[in-house]
Structures are given as structure tokens and as C-alpha cells.
Structure 1
């Protein structure tokens, strides 16, 4: 993988870790909060996403419409599945299992179905990234967890949703040749529309959630689309089987931020995991 592409994915990973860390400061209703930052992100993306249309780089075609609709549905399924997992089990189990399962399923599908050819050192590097993430996340079966097996199950289901939208979005930007910024702007707009009916049923909570979460909503609205648009851009020049696990290095950054900002423990294990992830990234770059 080209060093420039690796840099793009790593910047995306940092942006992803930032907005996930900020989301921990959320107060109030979760669905209204997600709807609010999704709508804010869509509004921020429109002025940028419309430029390729105006300049003729991206035409308003049925492929753009269909691509954005399917992507929006997959992302909404992912969001709702993830939230259900969080409601029924511990975040510390669901999140790392989901983020680890997603790239593994994506890589296997890309190799076995899409026929992507990877060198042995690149495969070892990708596996090392996933292993490092598992080390950073720790053992989901350790004592004190609420229903760990249930959390693992929801994590795997969420990981399948991650693999689904990753593979579809890769298809959209590589096979359908959709411009990433315009494509994801459409996806965000449709996600906001899909979540609006449920948000309006809780309209009495909207003013409070927006007022108490103004800063997190704005930060997530900037960094969430930035992170994924960079990933989509990387997919245009690199195999999805490599981009998928590499972007999950965000868990390392997020775990270190959690230790620094929230006082979460196991720093030594996190550092070891980070070193394994960095070794994997180095192997990918050599390939």
C-alpha cells in the first residue's frame, strides 16, 4: 500500500477516535443525539459535496441515488444494531468485538469473493492489526461484565453490519465510480431523513439534547464524515481488504484517549497492543 494512502487511513482513524471519545460526553436521549449530529453533519457536508456536481466531476445519476440509499440503510442498521448491543450489554465488550469482527469479515469476503490478491506479508500485517486491537481491547469474558456472551453476539452482528457497509461503499467508489464526498453527503442526508420520524416522536426532548450537547454534536458532525470520507478516498487506490483492518487502528488511539481522559486502566496492555498494531501497519506498508 502506498505510504500516502496509509497516511490518509491513519488520519481517518484518529478522526474516528476523536469523535467516538467526544460521544462519551453525550447527555440525554441517544437516538435524538445521533439524529442531531447526523443532520448537522449532512448540513456541513452539502456545501462541499455539491462542488463535484457543479464542476461536472459527479453527475446526478441513478447510480448515485441507489448507492446512497443502500449505504444509508446499511449505516442505519449498523447504528441501531450497535445501540441495541450497548443497551443489552457492556460497551467494553460490544465495541471491540464489533470493530475487530468487521475488518476480518471484510478481508475474508474481499479475498474469497472479490478475488483480491494480497501478498503473504500484507496478510500477516492485516492480521497483526486485528490481533493488536484485540490486545488493546482486552478479554471480553473477564469477570464483572454483564452477560459477556450476549455482548460478544451483538458485537459479531454489528461487525457483520460494518463489513456490509464497508464492502458496499467500496463497490460504490471503485466500481460505480462515485465521488466520495458527494456520495457520503447523500448518504448522510438520507440517514437523517430515515431517523427523523423516530426523532420527531421524541420532539419534547430535542431542545434539551441539542442545548446540552451542542459542542459534542458539532465536533462529531465535523470529524465523523471527515473520517469516513478519507476512508472512501483510500478505497479508490487500495484494496478494501487492507483499508478495513488498517482503519480499525482507531481503537488503539481511542483506548489511549480513554486511559488519559477517563482514567481507564491497563495502560501496559494497551501499549503492547499499540506496538502490535504499528508492526502490522509497517508490514502493510511494505506490501
Structure 2
């Protein structure tokens, strides 16, 4: 992976952690995530006149990705009913790179060197350590929490692979990303209207500033990731993107003054070691 791609993916990870920090803006997590996606779609809508229309072969992947995002939001919200952010987020985000690594080799023909595979496994191991041993309520992990978190990981892997394939087919990552976000916003709006009722949109209004900020960060973060997946193996981009767990922990410690237990510091060190291995090996 080239240095410029490496740095941009880490930047995307930091932006991803930033918009996830906004999940506590006063709505339930499903509505908050939906608000952020709708806001990102509105920003993308403004950009559509300035980008090309995706090629015909890219549209099925855009549609498939939008469906996977519905499953992602649904199971993520369910997972939070059974566990806290410190468990759910690392379990879901840490499991998806392994699925992506296996499927990208089988389906996309990507190849990983032994060093890259080692770095990926070390990074994922650090994220899992943070989830299993780093939370104050780690003993409360149950089948429902684990099942929902792993299903979330499956949907993350699904939309990651769909978008990598679609962007590569399209030959224009920016065009693909903008149309994806616009369509995804429309789909989420329809889902909210059907499942929660049209009046639910009135609840979103007071939170538009946080939603817009989160939407901008989400749009930038995932657009960078989509572009990076056209430049490097999908598994490497996916693994580096999940260092957002580390950035989220740093945001909590520096801005929210949350304590950092020794086990979480160890997990941070393991994640950082994985990043170094990915870059050097």
C-alpha cells in the first residue's frame, strides 16, 4: 500500500470515530445513525451535478450496498440493546476485516503477503482484546450481544465488498460514492417512514446540526475508503479503517476525560503494532 493511501485511510478512520462519537445526541442509536446517513446523502445530493453518472454495471452494487446498510443499522441498534458501546463497537468492527480478507481473496482475487496478513491479524486481535477484556462489563457478553455484533460485522463486510466491486467497475470512486450516499439516504428515509411513521422525522429536526456534522464526516470517511479500495487490497483498507476503534478511545480519553484502564492501553498498543506491521511488512 502506498504511503499516501495509508495516510488517507488512517484519516478516514479518525473521521469515522468522530461521527460515531455523535451517536449520543439525544435520539436512539438507530435514528441517530439514520439521521447521519440522511444528512450525508443531502450533502452528496449537492455534489451530484458535478460528478458523472455511474456506469450501468455499478448500479447493482450501489443498490446492494444500500440494502446491506439497512441490515447494518438494524443489527447495530439491536446489539446496543444487549451491551455497551465499549463491547459492541469493537466486536462488530473488529470481526468484519477477517470476513473481508477471506471473501476478497475468494471473490475479488486480491492477494495478501504473509506480512500483511500478520499485521491484519495482530490489528484485529487488539480490537477483540479491547472488546472482550477492555470493557467494565466484559463479563456480561451473552449470546444475544455476540450474535447481533457478529451479524453487524457480516453486513459491514457485505457493503464493503459490494462497494469495492462497484467502485472498481465504475472506474470513478468519487462518482460512485456520491451516488451511493444519495441513494442510501433515500432508502433510510423510506425505512424510517415505514417502520417508525412519518411523524418520526419531526424528532430529527432539533438535531440537524449534529446530524449534518456527522454526515459530513461520514461522507468524507467512507468516500476515502471507497477510493482506497480501488488502489489497494480491500482487506488492508478494511483493517486500517477499523483503527477507528483506537481513535474513538483517544477521543473519549482526551475530550470526554474517560479513564483508560491498563488492559485498554495494552489493546491500543496491539492495534498500533498491527498498523506498523501493515505498513512495514
Q: Same fold (TM over 0.5)?
A: yes
Partner of 1:207: 202
Q: How big is each residue's C-alpha offset from its partner over 1:139-167, in whole Å with a ceiling of 9 and x where there is no partner?
A: 28975765523211111111111111111
C-alpha distance after superposition, 1:87-110 (max 9, x if no partner): 244333322111111001111222
- Counterpart mapping for 1:212-227 below 5 A: 213-227=207-221
Point out where structure 2 has 5 or more consecutive residues left out of the alignment. none
Which segment drifts farther, 7-16 or 136-145? 136-145
Which whole-Å CA distance do the structure 2 matches of 1:84 and 1:120 have between them? 36
Matched with 1:33 is 32
Aligned counterpart, 1:237? 231
Moved more, 191-200 or 102-111: 191-200
Whether contact under 8 Å (2:173, 2:223) holds in the other structure is yes
| Contact 1:29–1:205, Cα closer than 8 Å, also in 2 | no
CA change 1:275–1:49 in 2 (3 A) is: farther
Q: Is the Cα–Cα contact under 8 Å of residues 52 and 182 in structure 1 kept in the other structure?
A: yes
Q: How many residues are matched?
A: 279
Change (3 A) 1:30 1:210: farther
Query: Which piece of structure 1 moves more, 263-272 or 125-134?
Result: 263-272
Q: 1:142 to 1:21 in 2, by over 3 A?
A: closer
- The answer to whether the 8 A contact 2:23-2:29 is kept is no
CA-atom RMSD, angstroms?
2.3
- TM, length-normalised to structure 2: 0.89
Partner residue of 1:8?
8
Aligned partner of residue 70 in structure 1, secondary structure: helix
- Secondary structure at the aligned position of 1:237 is classed as coil
| 1:16-31 map, 5 Å | 16-24=16-24, 26-31=25-30
- Identify unmatched segments of 5+ residues in structure 1: 54-58
The alpha carbon displacement at 1:5 in A equals: 0.9
